Structures are given as structure tokens and as C-alpha cells.
Amino acid sequence: MNSFKKNIKFLIYCVVIGIIGGIIYALIKYFFDIPDDFMYTFTYSFVFIYIALYFSQNFYYIHKLKKASHHIENFESEKYIEEIEPCLKKVGRLKNIKNLMKLDLSVAYLEIKNYKKAIEFIESIDESKLDRTLLSFYRVNMPIIYFYAGKFDKSKELYDKNIYFYIEYATSKKGDLLKSIQILHIMNDFIENKILDAKNKILELEKIDLSPRFKKSVDELKDIVYKKK
């Protein structure tokens, strides 16, 4: 439904731009008596340049994000922040790129334990504007950030709100996001004081081949759980 609404909005946007463009085209032609051949060439050139600039800007920032992502994997979140945060003011109307940057920056700030900034970035994202992929990461990352910030009630509220998504995702998907959901289940057990369940889930998670970054996350969570009396 969310995707359908976005497509309708985009279609309406295109129609409105087309109508405005047509009116401007007619007015210029009428008042300046410009030949049709020139106007056609000018219009097509303008549209081509606009599309080319849009996609080149998209490509540039996607490439920049991919290039910078190794900083997070190598536990160099400060470098990632230095490279990507200044770009937020430059991406303009590239909403998907901007939301991706905000999501990644919230993770980067979480890694360096700056929970205030992590919350600030993830809360600045309009959930209704996210595509399906980014929405999945948003629904998982947000309660995790609140958990580490010590805001257990908020973390629990978001977990309960999205529980059906977590269950559905676990039955149909694999990869890093699924591991994050498993971590989220452990956090929820901890909040509900189900410490034995949390410990058992940690043991199961430790049997999986984890990347260094996920192993660090599990070790940190394990330390929190095992300190609980």
C-alpha cells in the first residue's frame, strides 16, 4: 500500500510538471514567436540534461556511500561520519539517498555510543517516505538504538508494534538483517526479564558464522545480559 501511494504521488507529480511545462512552452512560443523546430530541440535538450543530472547525482552518492561503508565494517565509524554527514545538505531532493544516509549515520553514531545523535538521525526519518528495503532496516534499527540508549520502554513499544514484521521476515529472508532481528529478540527478552531465554538465544546466535561487526554486537549484548541479576 505504501509503495502504491508513492507511485500515485509520483504520477501526479509528473502530470503537474508536464502541465506546467506545457503552459510555459506555449507562453514562450506565443510571446517570442520562436520557431517550432527550435522549441522542440530546446525542450528535449532541457529534459535530457535534467534527467542526466538527476541520475548522475544519484550514482555519485550511491558510489560514495558504498565506498565509505567499509569504515563501519572496520570499526571506523568516526571516519564514516566525517565523510557522509556533510553530504546530507548536498543531496537535495534525492529523498531515498538522504534517508539511507540518515539510517547509516544513526548506526555509525550508535557504534561510537553517541546515542543522542543516533536517535536524532533515525527520528528525523519520515517512515512513510521509505521504500520497502529501507523501511525494513528502519523497523529493526530503531528499537535497537533505543535499547542501547537505555530507553527500554520505547524499545519495547517499537518491538511490539513491529513484531509481525519480524516474524514474517524471519520465515522468508536471510542475511544480516535477520541476525539483527535475532539480536532484537534477545533485547526484548532482557527487557521482559526473561534472562534465561536471552542467554539461550545468545548461545544459538554464537553458533552462527558471524562477521566481526556482528560478533562485537553479540559480545556487547552478552555482557549486558550476563550482568543482569
> What pLDDT, on a 0 to 100 scale, did the predictor assign at position 4?
45
Chain centre to alpha carbon of residue 96: 8
pLDDT < 70 regions, the chain? 1-56, 58, 172-174, 229
Report yes or no on whether pTM surpasses 0.85. Answer: no
C-alpha cell at 227: 550482568
Q: Which residues 6+ apart lie within 8 Å of 21 measured at CB?
A: 43
> What pLDDT, on a 0 to 100 scale, did the predictor assign at position 22?
62
> What pLDDT, on a 0 to 100 scale, did the predictor assign at position 25?
61
C-alpha cell at 9: 504521488
> What pLDDT, on a 0 to 100 scale, did the predictor assign at position 201?
92
Report all structural domains of the chain as residue ranges with CATH numbers, in order of start: 35-130 (1.25.40), 133-229 (no CATH)
> What pLDDT, on a 0 to 100 scale, did the predictor assign at position 171?
75
Rounded to 10 deg, the angle between the 212-227 and 176-191 helix axes is 10
